[in-house]
Amino acid sequence: MTDDQIKTTLDKSERITIFAIESSCDDTSASVCVNGKILSNVISTQTIHKEYGGVVPELASRAHIKSIVPIVDQALIVANVELSSIDAFAFTQAPGLIGSLLVGAQFTKSMALALDKPVITVHHMQAHVLANLIPQHKPDFPFLCLTVSGGHTQIVLCEGPLQMKVIGHSLDDAAGEAFDKSAKLLGLPYPGGPLIDKYAEKGNPAKFKFPEPDIEGLNFSFSGLKTSILYFIQAEEKKNKNFVRENLYDICASIQWRIISILLNKLKKAAEQTSIKNICIAGGVSANRQLRKTFEQTGEKMYWKTFIPPLEYCTDNAAMIAIAAYYKYLAGDFADLTVSPSARAEW
């Protein structure tokens, strides 16, 4: 179904208001969406994890508990919507950190129970894909989406808002992990992805060569890259103990270039195999400036129509949960109040 077809199935006077919460990892976010249009998307990113070099699950749950009430209030104020006008309450059900998911799930279910409204559960990775349906400029179906986040790397074939199939995935680390773990090896704090993005801008991507793994089909692997970076740094630091500090920009640019080439080479292969020309990217790593640029340049060469969500919808956010829930609402796909979150999820 196209977006227009879906809209004509709605009564013209019908106003569907969805309230959504995202709390799967270290961002607490709430959003209000009316008939597929995002009215608010308030995000609080936890900073406490920086000093630990990664997300500490127990600290993440506690931080969600602290921030969820003000974030929910703020999302309603920005959207200028009364709680009583909300038609359904949605939350990220999986995958993610179980303690973090529980905070969003319990809060959302309590609101729905108190207001006697339905609950909608959303799969976090499907929501990342559907973030591409938020802007005015959106892809027609079918489209392919390269979803690159901190926990997953997938190529998704999307035939409708609720008809998606993973046709390629990482066999080990996700692209976001490749960024974060490489950054850690360089002594940079968590999350390292945005820092590599920043330093790479000043570096030479051809200065150091890191290998591209030879993985069959549309799957990815990033763990070999991490090991080769580790051995490379160890060998160079034996010769010059200031090697990383003196070459930081070039190392970041070279690592980033390799991660991007691994991602886009597989995406090209997927486009070729499926003959699909509408191509999207999504997920936290799609905030990477060089990936966005190279993706668009590749698209021009390959005659693709390319789509990238605005930055606020790339990293974790509740707007993508709200848009996914809106399509589930139209399909009548509701959950009951006994539903619980899950750390892992079947697609």
For tokens 């500490």, the residue is: 56
Footprint of ligand KG4 on 288-307 (CB under 6 A): 288
Q: Report the nearest approach of ligand KG4 to the CB of residue 194 (Å).
A: 4
Answer yes or no whether residue 26 interacts with Zn ion by CB under 5 A.
Answer: no
Instruction: Please tell me the distance from the alpha carbon of residue 59 to that of residue 46, in angstroms, as a whole number.
Output: 9
Nearer to ligand KG4, 81 or 103 (CB): 103
The phi, psi pair for 49, rounded to 5°, reads -75, -20
Q: Which does 299 bind (CB under 5 to 8 A by kind): Zn ion, ligand KG4, none?
A: none
In the chain the first and final C-alpha atoms are separated, in Å, by: 20
Nearer to Zn ion, 250 or 316 (CB): 316
**Binding track over 302-341 against ligand KG4, x by CB under 6 A:** -------------xx-------------------------
- How many CB atoms neighbour CB 69 within 10 A? 11
Q: Which does 288 bind (CB under 5 to 8 A by kind): Zn ion, ligand KG4, none?
A: ligand KG4
Tokens of 301: 């060469």
Nearer to ligand KG4, 86 or 267 (CB): 267
Nearer to ligand KG4, 17 or 286 (CB): 286
Answer yes or no whether residue 132 interacts with ligand KG4 by CB under 6 A.
Answer: no
**Binding track over 256-295 against ligand KG4, x by CB under 6 A:** ---------------------------xxx-xx-------
Q: Report the nearest approach of Zn ion to the CB of residue 316 (Å).
A: 4
Instruction: Kindly determine how many residues on this chain lie close enough to bind ligand KG4 according to the rule CB under 6 A.
Output: 19
Nearer to ligand KG4, 132 or 288 (CB): 288
Which one of residues 149, 153, 170, 254 is an interface residue with Zn ion (CB under 5 A)?
149
Answer yes or no whether residue 31 interacts with Zn ion by CB under 5 A.
Answer: no
* Contact predicate 178/222, CB 8 Å: yes
Q: Report the nearest approach of ligand KG4 to the CB of residue 238 (Å).
A: 29
Which one of residues 150, 161, 203, 309 is an interface residue with ligand KG4 (CB under 6 A)?
150
Nearer to ligand KG4, 17 or 170 (CB): 170
Alpha helices of the chain — where are they, by DSSP H?
3-8, 57-79, 98-115, 124-130, 175-185, 193-200, 223-239, 243-274, 289-302, 319-330
CA trace torsion 258, 165, 282, 72 (10° rounding): -140
Instruction: State whether residue 96 is helix, strand or coil.
Output: coil
Residue 89's nearest CA partner among 77, 101, 106 is: 106
Q: Which does 191 bind (CB under 5 to 8 A by kind): ligand KG4, Zn ion, none?
A: ligand KG4
Instruction: Please tell me the distance from the alpha carbon of residue 144 to that of residue 83, in angstroms, as a whole number.
Output: 36
Strand pairing report for 143-148 and 119-123:
unpaired
* Alpha carbon 111 to its chain's center: 26
* Contact predicate 18/32, CB 8 Å: yes
* Contact predicate 302/268, CB 8 Å: yes
Q: Report the nearest approach of Zn ion to the CB of residue 120 (Å).
A: 18
37 bridge partner residues: 34
Residue 179's nearest CA partner among 165, 167, 190, 163 is: 190
Which one of residues 81, 266, 316, 320 is an interface residue with Zn ion (CB under 5 A)?
316
* Contact predicate 251/208, CB 8 Å: yes
Footprint of Zn ion on 43-102 (CB under 5 A): none
Nearer to ligand KG4, 220 or 329 (CB): 220
Q: Applying CB under 6 A, which residues contact ligand KG4?
A: 25, 149-151, 176, 179-180, 191-194, 197, 283-285, 287-288, 315-316
